[in-house]
């Protein structure tokens, strides 16, 4: 549903950009270009940023309702718009208004999803008729998760994320997201992966639940520094309603895969009591 587009007129568009979780994330090693070789299964989920994109008079104007979101070239949606106009040689004339629902620095791919949704929307608004392959070439330098969101499907991603193979999940998962107030830097997490160690008493091995293996190699470096996330995972795994629990991407969001008919809101309430009253929580599902 990335780039689920609702038309108002020919010169504006409402876009819903979904978050994602990594059902599994395996790091195969460091590449010569500084990136890491990945093998990751990613699923979009029913939590969305909202973007309104209007054809403007001149340039690229960007606004967001959340002060923590970077502006200008540091924003992936702005970078996507610039890349689109530079590649197509179309005169830039756009305004992007972002309502942020996906937490920033959470490992949920919000910025990447916004960027992919901008590429999809501009391709339609300006009738550029670019193929998915052409859009993927634009997306790759913007961020590792941006190509994934162009496919609007769960997908197996390899390389540093740019090799996307859409897959159909065997089933829809009911998910509870938990995020503390702090964020984790993706670049930092990857840089610490090689030298990191496991914390005793914490479960890192793959969890099998509902014909799916859940594992994340970035838990090792992230848990070493952010022990609260390791404790959160073990607390979630101790709840009878939870089938599997994992960190998404580089964190700081932890997610629980709920058992059939389990009440995610009840678990969220208990988590705030047991772990941190300031936790951000969201019950959603894979789409």
Residues tagged active-site: 20, 145
Task: Say how far apart CA 236 and CA 257 lie, in whole Å.
Answer: 10
List the one residue out of 129, 49, 58, 64 whose CA is nearest residue 94. Answer: 58
The 10 Å CB-count burial string (b at 16+, else e) for 17-46 is bbbbbbbbbbbeeeeeeeebebebbbbbbb
> 164 in helix, strand or coil?
strand
C-alpha 237: how far from its chain's center? 22
The 10 Å CB-count burial string (b at 16+, else e) for 190-220 is beebeebeeeeebeeeebeeeebebbbbbbb
- Cα 124–156–86 angle (5° rounding)? 35
Task: Say how far apart CA 170 and CA 142 lie, in whole Å.
Answer: 31
Helix (H) or strand (E) holding 133: helix 132-139
Task: Say how far apart CA 20 and CA 113 lie, in whole Å.
Answer: 8
Angle between helices 227-237 and 264-274 (to 10 degrees): 140
Q: How far is CA 195 from CA 96, 191, 218, 220, in A?
A: 41, 9, 12, 9
């Amino acid at each position: 549903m990335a780039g689920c587009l609702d038309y108002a007129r020919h010169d504006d568009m409402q876009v819903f950009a979904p978050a994602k979780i990594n059902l599994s994330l395996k790091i195969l090693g460091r590449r010569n270009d500084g990136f890491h070789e990945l093998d990751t299964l990613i699923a979009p989920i029913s939590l969305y940023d909202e973007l309104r994109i209007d054809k403007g008079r001149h340039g690229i104007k960007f606004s967001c309702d959340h002060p923590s979101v970077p502006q200008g070239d540091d924003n992936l949606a702005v970078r996507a718009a610039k890349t689109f106009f530079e590649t197509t040689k179309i005169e830039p004339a756009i305004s992007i208004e972002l309502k942020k629902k996906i937490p920033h620095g959470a490992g949920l791919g919000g910025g990447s999803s916004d960027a992919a949704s901008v590429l999809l929307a501009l391709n339609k608004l300006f009738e550029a008729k670019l193929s998915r392959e052409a859009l993927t070439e634009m997306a790759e330098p913007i961020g590792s998760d941006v190509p994934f969101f162009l496919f609007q499907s769960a997908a197996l991603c390899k390389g540093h994320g740019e090799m996307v193979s859409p897959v159909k999940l065997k089933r829809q998962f009911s998910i509870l997201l938990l995020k503390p107030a702090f964020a984790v830097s993706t670049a930092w997490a990857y840089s610490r992966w090689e030298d990191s160690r496991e914390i005793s008493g914490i479960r890192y091995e793959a969890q099998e639940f509902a014909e799916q293996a859940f594992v994340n190699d970035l838990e090792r470096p992230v848990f070493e520094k952010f022990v609260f996330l390791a404790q959160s995972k073990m607390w979630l795994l101790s709840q009878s309603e939870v089938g599997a629990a994992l960190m998404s991407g580089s964190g700081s969001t932890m997610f629980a895969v709920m058992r059939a008919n389990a009440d995610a809101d009840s678990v969220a309430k208990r988590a705030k009591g047991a772990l941190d009253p300031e936790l951000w929580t969201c019950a959603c599902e894979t789409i």
